[in-house]
Amino acid sequence: MSPTISEAYRELPLPPHHIVPIDFGSLKSVPFSHQWFASDTQVGKLSTPSLKPRLDSHAIPVVDLASPDVLERLGRACEEWGVFQVVGHGISSEELEEVESQAERFFALPPEVKARVLRSPDGGAGYGIARISSFFSKFMWHEGFTIMGSSLDYAKQIWPHDYQHFSDVMDEYQKKVKNLSQRLMLQILSSLKVSDLPETSSICPNPATASTALQLNHYPSCPDPDLALGLAPHTDSFLITVLHQARRAHGLQVFNDRAGGWVPVSPLQNALVVNVGDLLHVLSNGRYVSALHRVAVSERSRERVSVAYFYGPAADAEVAPLGAAAPVYRRFKVVDYVKLKARELDKAMSLMRI
């Protein structure tokens, strides 16, 4: 049997307080455990003096997949930002809204029902706090539900007599967003203009063996948004992430060197946000940036939901810079990188440098 991404977490089980979220619904103020100060948001070299973004969001590229110069636009967006919004992606707004409302339906359940699908201490999928939480001294204003593969078994545990709809919606969405991810990956890889791309084997990647995860994110309404942080700064690990953020749900910010700070990624009607992940950064030999991003809790008494789809090569596939005369990253197995990141977080990428 080939390894799966979840197996990467076997060696590093998390304690329960890094799995089970607090009962946000019962809180009238932000507990000390969830109050962030400037020094808490330091991740490696990047510290953030304030949660207020410094710039406006117009700079984030919007790429229409139907535009004739789509490859050039994708390439530039990946190189300069590592994040962009796609329109003309073919997934209908009805479908996105349905996924969003099923996610809301799940998060609205009482804590003891959500606990039926709790992530296991040594696993990757299930309900709980984001895995990166263990690297920070404060907890995030966030709960998540990671689905790997079909959501049917989870749905049966959550709604024993009414599981079909949730499961149909989530699995149908995974199919569509997987097709979109594959299409984007092929275009992004051709935007790299590498002369001899390997066959659609491991790296390209092969949709039949790809590592995928659907992550439902919930940022509950918060009594004091200035004190809390939705999701701490991180880069996504796989090749690309395709994210749907609910309308009017501000909060996602991306760090950009050229812009000199945090830039909000404002929700755009019918657009999906695409992030370059660590593995695409490696394939491009460092040319495409794996975007550092975070989520601020922007508004009082407004909750926020987002749905992220992570797309990567098979867990046992090998990744290395494509066609680079002077590679700056070693060749490594995807599963080994996920293990290393579980231990080292933001240091993992530089440990793979030659």
Ligand X SMILES: C=C1C[C@]23C[C@H]1CC[C@H]2[C@@]12CCC[C@@](C)(C(=O)O1)[C@H]2[C@@H]3C(=O)O
Ligand Y SMILES: O=C(O)CCC(=O)C(=O)O
**Catalytic positions, written as ranges:** 304
Q: Are 55 and 262 in contact (CB under 8 A)?
A: yes
Under 8 Å between Cβ of 306 and 300: no
Asked if 228 interacts with ligand X (CB under 6 A), we say: no
The interface mask with ligand Y, positions 124-163, x = CB under 6 A, is ----------------------------------------
- SS3 category, 243: strand
Q: Which of 188, 191, 219, 236 binds Fe ion (CB under 5 A)?
A: 236
Distance, CA of 221 to CA of 142 (rounded, Å): 10
DSSP 312: E
- The site that binds ligand X (CB under 6 A) totals a number of residues, namely 13
Q: Is 315 in the site for ligand X (CB under 6 A)?
A: no
Which amino acid does the sequence have at 263?
A: V
Q: Which stretch binds Fe ion (CB under 5 A): 60-68, 124-132, 235-243, 318-326?
A: 235-243
Q: Pick one of Fe ion, ligand X, ligand Y, none as the site partner of residue 5 (Cβ within 5 to 8 A by kind).
A: ligand X
Q: Is 132 in the site for ligand X (CB under 6 A)?
A: yes
Q: Give CA separation, 269 vs 114, 244, 272, in Å.
A: 30, 10, 9
For the bound state, the minimum distance from the C-beta of residue 346 to Fe ion, rounded and expressed in Å, comes to 13
Q: CB-side exposure of 123: number of CA atoms within 13 Å?
A: 15
Residue 141 interacting with ligand X (CB under 6 A): no
124 makes contact with ligand X (CB under 6 A): yes
Give Cα separations from 109 to 102, 104, 211, 247 (angstroms).
11, 9, 29, 22
Binding-site ranges for ligand X (CB under 6 A): 5, 124, 130-132, 144, 146, 213, 215, 234, 236-237, 310
Binding-site ranges for ligand Y (CB under 6 A): 215, 217, 231, 236, 243, 245, 252, 293, 295, 306, 308
